Structure 1
């Protein structure tokens, strides 16, 4: 067996495996366009001789953590032939990819799981959820008289990007988008765009939407203030003669739209979405900002991580006065630790998805009451969200 990046001449092998695994077909001009866009250096394959047995794509991305971009390895397109399943092919690829990301300085990794329990075994853990709403047109927010205007049409990507960044940095785990990402992953010819401008002419929100079978399908609803939110909803409500309702997807889990509706009894669904994994605990932790504590300034933490051995072991977690911490590996085992958790639990807590007290209550974080309370006070509260898919 050999694990390596694909070469240009491996295009057909890689695409054929993806077509079979994900049950789609690319033909004609689309296949040629796919060949032109093929980036073999981003695809890792496990080969037996010349035969491609399994593959995955590793995307070099950036995610916002505490409002700052952090280097992140996005894993996508994990595939293997059915005859190769349960033979450890994907496990070998994932372990190799962790090493690759660590060497590249990608301290965090995201993926969309086909099966959550499978990826949990390798240290990935759910880090965000999204809401989905279905709102009949009769239950839309009330139209409002707003000092501002909505412009419909193809907005400048720079305007959308400016608004997106202002909105996305509120959440840990949202994606830093490039112009290429906007063009390839977000916008398409079927997507309508509208931007809300303040009375002073400043862009303050946008909506990306489609009209499908008399329904508004809202892909993104971004607003910087309440006036923009009401202005955009008034614009959408003016479609009432054309539509029967609206569906919103990938809504952040902290959204309170139903409460703001005249009648909140709408169909609401909540979905666990992407998984995250800390690739390098020391580098990731030392790049974060924490609350300043009084009293005890250090605790001993044992991290369980079978697939990234550089994380596994006993660490002295030292909190400093300026809100930074140091993570120093020391000799010892679990019996010496005041806190014990898996790399997945540590990821969920540091992303802001779950709190230490909560994890302790349900047996995901072991430790003394004093140590758990120390960690609870140290880690800032945060919301998580992701508005993209890969």
Structure 2
């Protein structure tokens, strides 16, 4: 018997069905408090369901976010809550939801998408690629940094979102792939999901230059977030954390993958791990490249072939013309001209390269990017080097 499939927004009357599906798949208890919280936060316009014979069989959420890339704000679709009931699995429902989601995000002008994968290889099939990792630290109390008094002052604050977000935004814009947070995100996702203390560092000029959000429980200091705008703020905040030594056995935290804390320690042999974290996908190649801030300096043209099996509007050749200011003009073309330099890659490779997660020279060395040495050198010059990082989760 043929089953009827329809992809549509999940209406309010089906929110409870969606919550029960997530609780089952992710194995958590759906308490009355969680139900009340999520029923308030859920937005039907962001929730998509695959209905089989009018029954909700699979679903996903597309959050409307903005992210920093090369110091510029990009509209981003955050994929989350991708779930299928077991009796409907392996029927291609997730593939249809993702395909539909790509069109929805493109229509909204979300030229890039992020997600947290349950399995990296699964989402690579649909065009996403690893873009962010973090460094996980576990530091015994004996290994905490031994620092003298630092200029400035530490002030314990409440949840002063305006103050904290000002510091966070200056910090986050230095990375590729961080979220631009609004007040609701701070309230519900930062402070709503964790407990602890906030301490703000004011430097010698009495300017807020960093903060730490942390919790001490069971002799463990867990740093939820450590943000600083210069090295002096870093030292002052670490001095503050180390002064909790009489209460602790160890400190645990996450940091950007390029964090250099171990070099500052008397004994750098702390427990640390690099953890692959989130994946990125370019939703609209032409739209993304047009907005992308390439390095300024000289005019340059490239014919770029992108291979994208899931989004036909990305699959093919593009003429990329970058002017002296680093602004690109992008034109889809039918075929490559032998008179201009050319390069070719998959949509996954393009995301890894333009988010800054991998450099063009490495991608060419491993065969993920093809082109001449001159093309590779030009891409190395044009794509600014900037660390990727995502301190949030969705």
**TM score, norm. by length of structure 2:** 0.95
Contact conserved, 2:221 with 2:248, CA < 8 A, in 1?
Answer: yes
Q: Match of 2:251?
A: 246
Q: Secondary structure at the match of 1:103?
A: helix
Q: Match of 2:236?
A: 231
Q: Secondary structure at the match of 1:358?
A: helix
Q: Match of 2:320?
A: 317
Please say if 1:198 is aligned against 2:166: no
Contact conserved, 2:303 with 2:336, CA < 8 A, in 1?
Answer: no
Q: RMSD across aligned C-alpha pairs, in angstroms?
A: 1.7
Distance 1:147 1:216 in 2: 24
Q: Match of 2:31?
A: 27
| CA deviation vs aligned residue, 1:236-291 (integer Å, no higher than 9, x gap) | 11111110110112x11111000011111100100111101111111111112222
Gaps of 5+ in 1: none
Q: Secondary structure at the match of 1:274?
A: strand
Q: Match of 2:307?
A: 304
- Deviation for aligned residue 1:35: 2.4
Distance 1:198 1:378 in 2: 36
Gaps of 5+ in 2: none
Q: Match of 2:149?
A: 145
Work out which of the residue numbers 281, 284, 287 in structure 2 matches 1:280.
284
After TM superposition, where is structure 1 displaced by more than 4 Å over at least 4 residues in a row?
333-337
Distance 2:174 2:148 in 1: 26
- Deviation for aligned residue 1:53: 0.9
| CA deviation vs aligned residue, 1:291-324 (integer Å, no higher than 9, x gap) | 2455x82221110001111111011121212211
Q: Match of 1:384?
A: 388
Contact conserved, 1:293 with 1:377, CA < 8 A, in 2?
Answer: no
Contact conserved, 2:161 with 2:183, CA < 8 A, in 1?
Answer: yes
Distance 1:323 1:190 in 2: 44
| CA deviation vs aligned residue, 1:361-380 (integer Å, no higher than 9, x gap) | 00111122222222222211
Distance 2:320 2:104 in 1: 26
- Deviation for aligned residue 1:104: 0.5
Distance 1:75 1:252 in 2: 22
- Deviation for aligned residue 1:200: 3.6
Distance 2:297 2:199 in 1: 46
Contact conserved, 1:195 with 1:205, CA < 8 A, in 2?
Answer: yes
Work out which of the residue numbers 120, 130, 135 in structure 2 matches 1:131.
135
Q: Match of 2:219?
A: 214
**TM score, norm. by length of structure 1:** 0.96
Work out which of the residue numbers 331, 335, 340 in structure 1 matches 2:334.
331
Distance 1:288 1:56 in 2: 28
The 1:109–1:23 alpha-carbon spacing in structure 2 relative to 1, beyond 3 Å, is same
The 1:387–1:334 alpha-carbon spacing in structure 2 relative to 1, beyond 3 Å, is farther
Distance 2:41 2:350 in 1: 37
Contact conserved, 1:210 with 1:216, CA < 8 A, in 2?
Answer: yes
Q: Secondary structure at the match of 2:245?
A: coil
Q: Secondary structure at the match of 2:225?
A: strand
The 1:243–1:312 alpha-carbon spacing in structure 2 relative to 1, beyond 3 Å, is same
Q: Secondary structure at the match of 1:185?
A: helix
Count, aligned residues: 388
Distance 2:62 2:277 in 1: 19
Q: Match of 1:92?
A: 96
The 1:28–1:298 alpha-carbon spacing in structure 2 relative to 1, beyond 3 Å, is closer
Please say if 1:107 is aligned against 2:111: yes
Work out which of the residue numbers 341, 365, 370 in structure 1 matches 2:369.
365
